A and B are shown apart, each in its own frame.
Chain A
């Protein structure tokens, strides 16, 4: 799985204000489908490989994968 695009959110919506700044990304899965999720740990850039760390409340959380 790789990062298709990403951003670090500084100005968050009401529900996530306490978590900002946080990184979100659109990740391309092995089957080519895409999903929007959060990034845990190190910041990622476009094309970085990531792996699924966990799912919380139906939202996938990814982590940078060691190359």
Chain B
């Protein structure tokens, strides 16, 4: 396998955009990315699209060629990848694999979701289709409910406190306020976070990521050709995709995500580093408890101590391991199919020193973790300064 680099980045803001459709968002991110990577559409060898539920949210299927055509991509393979909230990361993983294997040289990966055109109960139902529709969801679960049950058990087993969950929300909101592309740029207090409207006990609205519209894109090329396109390539030191038991009730222990642990083990091995070498991370905080468990599964905090690690300030921008400097899914927003690709953009921006107000200082090694469903899919990526 040959080394692969990220040579271009493009994002739309994440938010609620009533006058924007799915295609225009994906095309904006894709065009910005081609421009950023100094790549012409005719140079792109394949188009990989991450999208969770375009058919349900906007009624459009066959999305990859639909968007590819508008980007001027003519005649090349155009494929949509769906892995619930890990759709973007999954498209990125497969694009990396194809470039690493020498099948293509330049590949465009775009993630997109258009969600705010549907009312909240319908959004909950579409998201619930990423769980076991004939089982847990038929009993009345929602994604917030699944993660609420995970939080309850984590609190029971390890003494994680309600305040620890809120600390994740307070931090990510403060970070999001510095991100011009974030859906919600509003600082909240611990008291506010604790007093939010209940969604699924013990989770309140402040524990849940946002329903957003948005798109993100990255361009990949072999590292040896990266200099032809950009002065600031970022090397993909590792990327691993894994899967695990599908429904929550089928997991032996719901306080850990084996898919994330497995992907992390593979990624650390591939990059030749351990968790202590990672300087900052973008983690999949679809719910506050998910960031806490990710800290544990990725080896940053001891098992059961992710909440304490957060409340002690270790994940603040000034902390030992800054997490979600972008605001995360909590404040940046969570247009499902765009999320995994957006994380890659935000890690790469930090390494390139182009993160503006979000910039954490000079960093060379960052990690992104993208989770699908209640842990049935996971993608872990490690990027390094080239």
Chain A residues near B (Cβ < 8 Å): 4-17, 19, 21-22, 24-26, 34-38, 46, 57-60
Contacts and interface: CB of A to CB of B under 8 A. Distances in A.
Contacts of A12: 121, 124, 140, 142
Interface residues of B, number: 35
Interface stretch (B148-156, B310-318, B353-361): B148-156
Contacts of A58: 134, 138
A59 B138 contact: yes
Contacts of B141: 9, 24, 36
Contact of A38 (B134, B137, B139): B139
Contacts, number: 92
Interface of B: 120-122, 124-125, 128, 134-142, 144-145, 148-150, 152-153, 156, 197-203, 247-250, 254
B248 A26 contact: yes
Nearest to B204: A10
Contact of A14 (B125, B145, B203): B125
B199 A11 contact: yes
Among A11, A25, A35, residue most surrounded by chain B Cβ atoms (within 10 Å): A11
A8 to B, nearest CB: 4
Given A24-B145, A58-B138, A7 B124 contact: no
Contacts of B142: 9, 11-13
A14 B124 CA distance: 7
Nearest to A47: B156
A10 B136 contact: no
A57 B156 contact: no
Among A5, A9, A12, residue most surrounded by chain B Cβ atoms (within 10 Å): A5
12 contacts: A7-B203, A9-B142, A9-B200, A10-B200, A12-B142, A15-B125, A22-B140, A24-B149, A36-B139, A36-B247, A46-B156, A59-B139
A26 to B, nearest CB: 5
